[in-house]
Each structure stands twice: as C-alpha cells, then as structure tokens.
Structure 1
Amino acid sequence: MSKPLAGKIALVAGATRGAGRGIAVELGAAGATVYVTGRSIRSQRSEIDRPESIEDTADLVTATGGQGIPVQVDHLDSDQVRALVERIDADHGRLDILVNNIWGGEQLFSWDQPLWEHSLEKGLHILRLAIDTHIVTSHHALALLIKNPGGLVIEVTDGTAKYNSENYRISFFYDLAKTSVLRMAFAQSKELAPHGATAIALTPGWLRSELMLELFGVTEETWQDALKAQPHFAISETPFYVGRAVAALASDPAVSRWNGHSLSSGQLAQTYGFTDLDGSQPDAWRYVVEVQDAGLPADVTGYR
C-alpha cells in the first residue's frame, strides 16, 4: 500500500477518542509517525472518566503501519506541552503536521440554559479546554513546525466558518468555543504563510463518536437503529472520515492553496476522492443546511 506520509512526524493533540483517534489512525495508515496525546491513559482516566486511552489509539496507529507514540499531556499545562515539543525535537528534529483537536467539554455545557443561567464555572472551563489548549499547543509547537517548509496545522472544530457565522450554535459557550477555533486557524494562516506553512480549520460532520453512539444506545455496527429516534442521524460519519480528510490534506503537495480556509470532511471527500469506511461520501454540512435546517424530512439521497 502507498505510504505518502512515510517519514513525516505528526502530533495529534487530543487523540484519546472521537475525531482525534480517527485522525491519528489515518495519518498512521498513510505512514506517519504520530505522537498521540491526551489526559487519559490506561491506568488513569481524565475528568471525563471514559475507558478510551491514548495507548489504545497509539496501538491502532501502529497496527495500520504507522508508528503511534502515546504521551500523556494536559494541554492546559504549558510546561507539559513544552516538554512534549522538546521531546519531538530531540527524537526527530522536525514536526510536519500539528492537529489541534483538544476539546473535553462534552459534559460541561448545557443546550437549554442561556448565559445567565448556565454555570459560569463550567462555561469558563469549556473555553479554557476548547481555546486555551489550542493556543498553548500552537505557541510551543509552531517554532518546530516551521523549521522545515511545508508544515501543516489543522484546527479541528464543529461547523464551517460560513455556517457558524450565520447560525447560533444553541449554547453561548459552545458557540463561542467552536467559532473561536475557526478564527485561530485563520490567524495562524497569516503568520505561517511567510514560513511556507499552512493552517486550516476542519470540521467533521455529525460524528459517530464513542460518546454519540452511547447517547443513542447503539454501536458502530447497529448505528442505523438510532434513526428511529433521530432520522437525520442518517447523514452521520465515522471518525475515520475526517481522519482521511486530514491524511489527504497532509499528502497534498499543493495544500497551501487551502491556507486560511474553513473546510469540511464531506467537501474534501469530493475534492480528494476518499470515502468513509462503508464506501459512502456523506456531505453533512450541505445536508444540514438544505435538509435538516430547512425542516425537510430526513433523506440522504444525493448527500452520501
């Protein structure tokens, strides 16, 4: 099999589960060495208290033919992030791909409480987890990334710049967190361009993450059973779909054409020709606008 990223060094910050795991695995499948970071290890769970671990993700990366290296890091801790980057520098002298996917706010925000009723403590913690972590990581990693031309930064968020600018994302703190990451990618694109590097904001569609599957009481094998409760879940995608989007971007010698852009997994599938694990190409953000938000019955015909 082709390994277009053989010899490339990647850091997927926030790769314990969900999109981060899918991205790390697909980078490994393309031949990259992937540093897999997060707070949850097999012997110690984070505050989210879930069973997934960075060691599990790293093993999956290695199983695909890449090299997965798990490193426990709290990306709010500047010293820990600095030490991580120093280790990557000492080990390889380069960093080619940085994926900022840190989140961790799933259990903190409320969809149905306005700002004045929402827990302020939880809200501010959401912003720290979703925004400060990305800033801390880029602050320490970018100097290494620009040592060689062609570096790529991916800021993972929820929603495209166009969609988020026109739609309220239901919760004040969620809206602010996810929209801020879009702007971070744009700002980094301006600072990185003179150094031959590229920054992109990337959103998956409706993700069949471990948490989402549990919410609906289904597994990846039985996910379509969730359509009884939520028919629009038919447009959902696996975490590996956005992973393939990142691998395609990282393998594209002309990736700088996307510098500063806000992209989606579905959009990039049409551009690069990759599919989800089932061979489909869900285009969730077009579907959300044209079907779900338009109040039409669920029908993915022409959207996957």
Structure 2
Amino acid sequence: MSQATSPIAPVAIVTGASRGAGRGIALALGSHGCVVYVTGRTLSAGDHALPGTIGETAAAVTAAGGHGIAVACDHADDAAVEALFAQVMAEQGRVDLLVNNAAAIYDELMHPGGFWEKTIKLADLINVGIRSGYIASWYAAKAMAAQNGGLIVFTSASGAAHYSLGPAYGAHKVAMDKMAFDMAVDFRHARLDVAAISIWMGALLTDRLKAIIASDTKKYGHLEGACEHPEFTGHVIWEIFNDPNRATLNGCTVVGAEVARQYGLTDEGRVPPTSQELHGVTPIAFHAKEIR
C-alpha cells in the first residue's frame, strides 16, 4: 500500500524507470524530496536481460530522500495509463511533473544494414515512445490544467536532428521535440501556468551502453569519456521545474548539458559536452505560425 505523503512534496511520474535514463531521473528527483511514481513493466529480477525493476528503483528513490512508489504499467496499454493517473490523483490529488521516458528500445537498433534489413519490431518506438508519450501527457495535462501548474518533459536526443540508428529512432526523437512545442502552444493559448519541454540527453552510461561498449571497445570505447550519468538529466529537470522563469522554456527543446551550465550544474564534478560540441548539431527551430 502507498502511504500518504505531504502535499508540499512535488509529485512526479517518471515513465520507463526500471533502469537506464528513467531510473536515473527518478533517483535524482528523489534526492530533491519528490514523491516519484516509478512506472515500467519489469517487476522481478530476471524479467529483463538487463538488471533493474520498478520496485528496486522506487526503493532507491526513497533511500535517496524522496518517496518512491512503484506502479506496474505497460505504456502500450491506454487503460493501464489511465489507471496510473487515477491512482496518482486518488493518493496525491495532483501531478506536478511528468517525465515521458518510456520507449521500446531494442538491441537490434545497433545492427548494421538498412531499416528494411532490421526487425520490423523497431516500429514499436512509434507506439511505446511517441503514442505513449501523448497519452500520458493527455492525462497529465488534464490534472495540471485543473491545478494551473505543472511541467511535462520529454526525454529526447540529438538524433531528432541528424541520422541516428535509423528512421524509427529518429522519428521518435523528433516527435518528442514537436509534441513539446505544440503542447506548449495549447498551454499558452489557454493561459495556463503549465509548461512542456523536450530535453536532449547525451549518451548515457547505462547498463545497456556499458554492455555495448564492452562488446566492441574499438568501435564504442570513445563514448565512455563523453557520456552523462543517468541521474544528470534528473537534476537538470529539477532546476527547470523550480526556475521562476520556466515559462521562457515552454515549448523549447533544450540540450541538457547546455542548460546545466546555465544553472551551474556538473555531472559528478565534470562538465559534459553538448551536442553542438560533439556533433555540430543543435535542436530544430520550429516556426511560430498557428493554424487552428
């Protein structure tokens, strides 16, 4: 059973948080005292090839100083997402922060060849990634509009603006950026104090990437020195959430490593490189034209 918590603590939902970026973001938010609902499909060790479960992440959030609550949720199932938000509203009465991180990431993304030569299941990124982010944001926006406050975050990457791992991955990343932009237009039109942003993460030193680096150090070994720790993005999100000028970022795609410098944040003492420094790539500038 979830325990009642103080309404003073911000209530966050981090999707896809059994491991990787989601786990790191959840832990960072927990270290700032947030109530964090940790969603995912991995309930027991051994359910996935990589380590990590939602229960383990929730316990780590609590150990970090927050209050972690694990909720089993398949984000391909709209009814499960609806039930998630119903639970959060019943237990907390509000949603302050949604981090859309759930995505169907398969090792086959790294395989050589054209997209037609790889497994067709890579298209799952359209459902668990693009569509699931929209559905979760739809429920979060209803709660945030009613309370007139909140932040929706999409985790993205520079693959939104250059070729990376094929069209399914690229479509997912650019969709994160565009959804944040368009949701922000609607929030402004409704004169709500609700913001949506997309944040480009760098390569993350997750268990998955560690395994990839170990599999071919000649090809991937250079990544380790340029990686961000998974918690880094969570600390950036926390700064944005508390920024009194947050509205200026509404609808923006921001580069986490770049924004971190503006807030004076480091990643365990080091300053990660930005996408522009690594690849000469910056977020796409969308036009302000509105057609309704």
Q: Same fold (TM over 0.5)?
A: yes
* 8 A Cα contact 2:16 2:40, kept in partner: yes
Does residue 137 in structure 1 map to residue 107 in structure 2?
A: no
Aligned counterparts of 1:242 and 1:68: Cα–Cα separation in 2: 18
From 152, 174, 181, give the equivalent of 2:176: 181
Query: CA 1:73/1:228 → structure 2, altered by over 3 Å: closer, same or farther?
Result: closer
Aligned to 1:30: 32
Aligned letter for 2:77?
D
Aligned counterparts of 2:187 and 2:98: Cα–Cα separation in 1: 13
- The Cα shift of 1:211 comes to 0.4
Aligned counterparts of 1:274 and 1:240: Cα–Cα separation in 2: 12
* 8 A Cα contact 2:50 2:208, kept in partner: no
Aligned letter for 2:243?
D
Aligned to 1:164: 160
Number of corresponding residues? 273
Aligned counterparts of 2:198 and 2:214: Cα–Cα separation in 1: 31
SS at match of 1:99: strand
Does residue 198 in structure 1 map to residue 195 in structure 2?
A: yes
* 8 A Cα contact 2:151 2:195, kept in partner: yes
Aligned counterparts of 1:51 and 1:111: Cα–Cα separation in 2: 22
Aligned letter for 2:278?
V
> Percent same amino acid at aligned positions?
30
* 8 A Cα contact 1:227 1:234, kept in partner: no
Query: CA 1:228/1:129 → structure 2, altered by over 3 Å: closer, same or farther?
Result: closer
Aligned to 2:276: 286
Does residue 149 in structure 1 map to residue 144 in structure 2?
A: no
Q: Cα RMSD (Å) of the superposition?
A: 2.3
Instruction: Give the alignment's TM-score, normalised by structure 1.
Output: 0.83
Aligned counterparts of 1:200 and 1:257: Cα–Cα separation in 2: 10
* 8 A Cα contact 1:85 1:141, kept in partner: yes
Instruction: Give the alignment's TM-score, normalised by structure 2.
Output: 0.86
* 8 A Cα contact 1:76 1:136, kept in partner: no
Aligned counterparts of 1:150 and 1:273: Cα–Cα separation in 2: 25
* 8 A Cα contact 1:27 1:34, kept in partner: yes
Q: C-alpha offsets along residues 16-47 of structure 1, whole Å, 9 cap, x if unaligned?
A: 111111111111111110100001112672xx
Aligned to 1:127: 126
Aligned to 2:205: 208
